[in-house]
Amino acid sequence: MVELRFHGHSCWQIDHGEHRLLIDPFLGDNPKADIAPGDIDRLDAIVLTHGHFDHIADAEEISNKTGALIVSNFEIATFFEGKGCKAHPMHIGGGRQFPFGHVKFTIAHHGSTGPGGESLGNPMGVVLTLGDRRIYHAGDTGLFLDMQLIGEVSGPLDVALLPIGDNFTMGVEDAARASKMLGARLTVPMHYDTFDVIEVDAADFAARVEAQGGKARVMQPGESLQL
Ligand code: NI
Ligand code: MN
């Protein structure tokens, strides 16, 4: 069994057997997060989709405390190695089997500048395969037609985690279209309502997905989902 717990914004904790992963930790500076960085006591890996602060903010602290391996693009992995973290560099299109599961990075259309203006490579999405369960986290991105390819090549996807907040990423309409292209069994929205500029109606997103024959679930920080 795989359990996904939503920690707000684009941060997800994924438990699979004895293994625990974290994607895009943004906890300490996110008033809507349900936990603080210090609450995570054990962790195998932190997967980072891109260098923006609302995706990497707590990676250094959590990695150094738990010994979790940071898995990201070459530039981000090197950036965190420079801060004393354990890191494994990968890049778009590359996959690798780790003890905690299989990680494969996809494209995403966005930016990836670090908190201090560092050039942290290209933004990515990620497909995680844990046992017989498959999860797609889109990172921050606009809609792109290759999502169809991600659904075909990596699929079937059990869940697609998609940004819907508009302004910086896909909005509700484009994300509903993305959901159809990916063909995931379940779509869960993220990256909305954290800041004023990305306030959207998540129920409207869910209704659009359901209207096209899909399944969507809106989750609050602290809620879990079992696959
Ligand atoms: Ni971003
Ligand atoms: Mn973001």
Domains and CATH numbers, the chain: 2-219 (3.60.15.10)
Sign (positive or negative) of CA dihedral 21, 26, 28, 34: negative
Ligand nearest to the CA of 112: 1
Give 31: exposed, middle or buried? Use CB within 10 Å, 0-12, 13-18, 19+: exposed
Nearest to 175 by CA among 144, 213, 151: 144
SS3 66: helix
Phi, psi of 60 (to 5 degrees): -60, -50
Tell how far the Cα of 176 is from the centroid of ligand 2, in angstroms.
Answer: 19
Contact criterion met (CB below 8 Å) for 5 and 188: no
Tell how far the Cα of 1 is from the centroid of ligand 1, in angstroms.
Answer: 30
Tell how far the Cα of 22 is from the centroid of ligand 2, in angstroms.
Answer: 16
Instruction: Give residue-wise pLDDT tens across range 77-116.
Output: 999 999 999 999 999 999 999 999 999 999 999 999 999 9
pLDDT of residue 155: 76
pLDDT of residue 154: 85
- Give mean pLDDT in consecutive 10-residue pieces for the chain, a chain of 227 residues: 98 98 98 97 98 98 98 98 98 98 98 97 98 98 97 92 98 98 98 98 98 98 98
Tell how far the Cα of 46 is from the centroid of ligand 1, in angstroms.
Answer: 17
Does the reported pTM lie above 0.95? yes
pLDDT of residue 186: 98
Calculated CA dihedral for residues 70, 74, 79, 81, nearest 10 degrees: 50
Tell how far the Cα of 169 is from the centroid of ligand 2, in angstroms.
Answer: 8
